[in-house]
Copies of this chain bind each other. A is one copy, B any other.
Amino acid sequence: MTGKLIGVGLGPGAPDLMTLRAARLIGGAKVIAYPALKGGDSFARQIAADVITAGTREIAIEIPMTEAREPAQAAYDKGAADIAAELDAGHDVVVLCEGDPFFYGSFMYLYARLTPRYGAEVVPGVTSITACAARAGRPLVARNERLTVLPGPLPEAELAARIEAAESLAIMKVGRHLPKIRRVIDALGLTGKASYIERATLANEVVLPLAEAPESAPYFSMILITKGSDPWL
Answer yes or no: A11 CB below 8 A from chain B CBs.
yes
Copies in the complex: 2
Answer yes or no: A79 CB below 8 A from chain B CBs.
no
Which A residues have a C-beta under 8 Å from some C-beta of B?
9, 11-12, 14-21, 23-24, 100-105, 108-109, 111-112, 115, 120, 122-127, 130-131, 133-135, 137-151, 153-154, 162, 165, 230, 232-233
Tell me if B232 and A140 are in contact (CB < 8 A): no
Tell me if A233 and B112 are in contact (CB < 8 A): yes
Output the least CB separation between A99 and chain B (Å): 9
Tell me if B100 and A122 are in contact (CB < 8 A): no
A198 and B59 CA atoms in complex are apart in Å by 35
A104 and B142 CA atoms in complex are apart in Å by 4
Interface centre among A12, A123, A138, A145 (most CB of B within 10 A): A123
Q: Smallest CB-CB separation from A134: which chain B residue?
A: B122
Out of B108, B130, B154, name the residue touching A125 (CB < 8 Å): B130
- Do A150 and B142 contact each other (CB < 8 Å), given the known contacts A17-B124, A122-B134? no
Out of B115, B140, B146, B232, name the residue touching A151 (CB < 8 Å): B146
A130 and B99 CA atoms in complex are apart in Å by 10
Out of B103, B125, B162, name the residue touching A146 (CB < 8 Å): B162
